[in-house]
Amino acid sequence: MCILIVKDSNKVISNDILVASAHINQHGLGVLWLDNWRVTYHDSNDYVVLDTDRPFIAHFRFATIGKISRENCHPFNINDDEILFQNGTVHNLGNKDKTDTQHMAELLKDIPKDRWCEVLEMTECRFVTANLKERTYELYNEYDWIEHDGINYSKENVLNQTLVAVYGTLKKGYSNYHHHLSTAKYVGPGETLDKYPLIIDGLPYLLNKQGVGNYVEVDLFLVDNDTFKMLDQLESHPTWYYRERINIDTKDGTVMSAFVYFNDTVDDTGVHHKTYTQEVSGHSYYDDEVVFHDSCSCIEPIVTRDTYLDELYCDACYLTVHTHQDEINPNDLDVTYESIKI
């Protein structure tokens, strides 16, 4: 785990990459600033310090060896002038208190510098050494680094993540969450930084009218490229819902830029909601002795037969409603176009 970022230019890293780096690696942040060659240490959630054109080398930690503490955040001193960053694990080094990186730094202190490359590249880890006095640095196992937009990353898992804010059936625990976002990285709750009108007409619709309505409650997720494409398909982007970036205010006061799906096809009724809620149930619904699986989580689901597709769906949220397999055949139900409230 962990991620090393080497940025020696005035380019600014995207919000999505910084959020992904922090939320995947939550155990501390160490930064060497390349404009003054000073080291600072932070909580991972303080990633906003890297939203800058200042050059730096940064390490977000995910603890594998050694306890979670500020003392175990990278970089570590090799000697009075030189420091070491590492991404990867050297399994025969370190213990429950000391990281393998600190142990490696202690070993390098007693090894001639012209042999550091030989020693460090015996592993599959990515390393950076920096000389604070001479103001130089060096990358090791350089062919394993990922160059993206002129910036070096020690791994690519933070590069294919996009921050999405959801306000309807995709919210954590809700009906579409289980189908589409249960494996995504949950960042946390938030609300729109600006007011927007949230209309609920069976489904929730967020209108793109900034300054009107309420600060709408959302859930934030980091999604990979495949999940992002799937969400576009689910929302019929851009023909029905369409996505745009807006600012989201998180519970800790951090402002994040995230995609949200708007829909301007419905009329503004003037009834603006702050949040959309579903009753998340763990039981099934019953109509006489027919058991319906709770793929729909509406408080009052309305089961309807779609005779064209030959399937049952909830007329309140449009999700397909399945009967328990091997218990009943939907074709045996005496349902046509009428809705049955259960």
Catalytic positions = 235
- As a whole number of angstroms, the distance between CA 134 and CA 79 comes to 13
- As a whole number of angstroms, the distance between CA 313 and CA 319 comes to 5
Q: Cα separations (Å) of 334 from 70, 128, 293, 305, 339?
A: 66, 70, 18, 10, 11
> What is the identity of the amino acid at 308?
Y
- As a whole number of angstroms, the distance between CA 222 and CA 227 comes to 9
Find the angle CA(194)-CA(197)-CA(203) to the nearest 5 degrees: 130
Residue 319 half-sphere exposure toward CB, CA atoms < 13 A: 22
Encode 85-116: b = buried (16+ Cβ within 10 Å), e = exposed: bbbbbbeebbeeebbbbbbbbeebeeeeeeeb
Q: Cα separations (Å) of 156 from 146, 210, 218, 267?
A: 6, 35, 28, 43
Yes or no: say if 38 and 55 are a contact pair by the CB < 8 Å rule: no
- Tokens (6 digits) for 260: 């949200």
- As a whole number of angstroms, the distance between CA 73 and CA 281 comes to 42
Q: Which of 128, 31, 22, 148 is nearest to 78 (CA)?
A: 128
Yes or no: say if 249 and 193 are a contact pair by the CB < 8 Å rule: yes
Q: Which of 44, 17, 12, 16 is nearest to 31 (CA)?
A: 44
Burial class (CB in 10 A: 0-12, 13-18, 19+), 46: middle
